[in-house]
Amino acid sequence: MADSKIYCFDEVAKHKGAKDCWLIISGKVYDVTQFMDEHPGGDDVLVTASGKDATNDFEDIGHSNAAREMMDKYYIGKIDASTLPTKDTYVQKQQVIHKPDNSPEFVIKILQFLLPVMILGLAFAVRYFTKVD
């Protein structure tokens, strides 16, 4: 491991298929092609993690110490960190403050709802107060 080959990201990213799969985990490059059939999560998990820095994917699963030791067998070199694509940082958008809509369409919608309710209420009131006992 002392004379590790250094790979650029573009070179590693080319190896992202079921028949040729390389992963970048913690700055190291692994050729896991021979491990595809043995991986407990299936080969599709490895293929999905290829072509990018898979460190977070690997760590999120919580692999055992035995799995971490097994990685040495597939180690082929290091990644040139300067060639990794920059990570997008999440920028929270400002919340839009809701302002009441005072447009004529809004007033019409309110009247379309309230007018029938008011007429119905008026009809019940007339019926109740004009009722002869």
The 10s digit of each residue's pLDDT in 81-123 is 888 887 655 566 666 666 666 677 878 888 888 999 999 999 9
31 lies in the same domain as 73: yes
83 lies in the same domain as 110: no
117 lies in the same domain as 89: no
pLDDT at 117: 93
27 lies in the same domain as 39: yes
Q: How confident is the model at residue 11 (pLDDT cuts 50, 70, 90)?
A: very high
pLDDT at 99: 64
CATH number of the domain at 54, please.
3.10.120.10
Residue 27: CB partners within 8 Å, gap ≥ 6? 55, 78, 79, 81
Asked whether residue 19 is domain-assigned, the answer is: yes
Q: Which of 22, 76, 77 is nearest to 53 (CA)?
A: 22
Average pLDDT over all residues of the chain: 84
Output the pTM of the full model: 0.62
